[in-house]
Amino acid sequence: MSTDERFRAVRKEYERDSLHEGSVEANPLVQFRAWLEEALKAPEVEPNACALATVGPDGKPSLRMVLLKSLDDRGFSFFTNYLSRKGRELALNSSAAMLFYWGSLERQVRIEGAVEQLSAAQSDAYFSSRPRNAQLGAIVSPQSEVANSRLDIDERHSALVASTGNSALSRPAHWGGYCLRPEYIEFWQGRKSRLHDRIRYVRDAGSQWKIERLWP
């Protein structure tokens, strides 16, 4: 059997749950938090992992996985290197999208909106809470730049470890947090016969959330 034939043979019937307009929360952030709490209890490796899409100056999208580190009334926060590809793209175009996928629950959530940097104080607070090895990695890595070799990466890391000893580490200026403020959130629940439930929230002119069902 060819690879394509094996792909076509992969079939899963979604029948774990359903989603109805009358049962969802009026605020999509409250609804998301409820689903995230269920994902945290499910057999998901990293339930706070999501795909983050940004747009380059040439209009082409780029995509990578990041980890959600905070959720509040403003939106969805994550941390990264400001000079990385995603950081540079967000500096030119703040529009972004996130996708959370929880296979064990047969669910996904799509989020679209504008991204803004968190305050220095917020980034400092999160950086100080990270394990030391993660702090060192953020300091030493010129993320997304070309590396001469793996040896170069390891040597630069070892040099930083040796030079800092056990001293406290400060957040580097090139690293910090972003918050995606949602304008669109769609909740997807797998259903039988590929007739999935899709409930979306869209902000209206008065910043109120409008709830609609989409065809699967």
Q: Which residues are known to be catalytic? A: 194
Residue 112 CB burial class (10 angstroms; 0-12, 13-18, ≥19): middle
How crowded is residue 70: how many other Cβ atoms within 10 Å of its Cβ? 16
Q: Residue-wise over 167-190: b if at least 16 C-beta within 10 A, else e?
A: eeeebeebbbbbbbbbbebbbbbb
User: Which one-letter DSSP state was computed for residue 208?
Assistant: P
β-partners of residue 211 are: 201
- The distance of Cα 38 from the centroid of its chain, to the nearest Å, equals 17
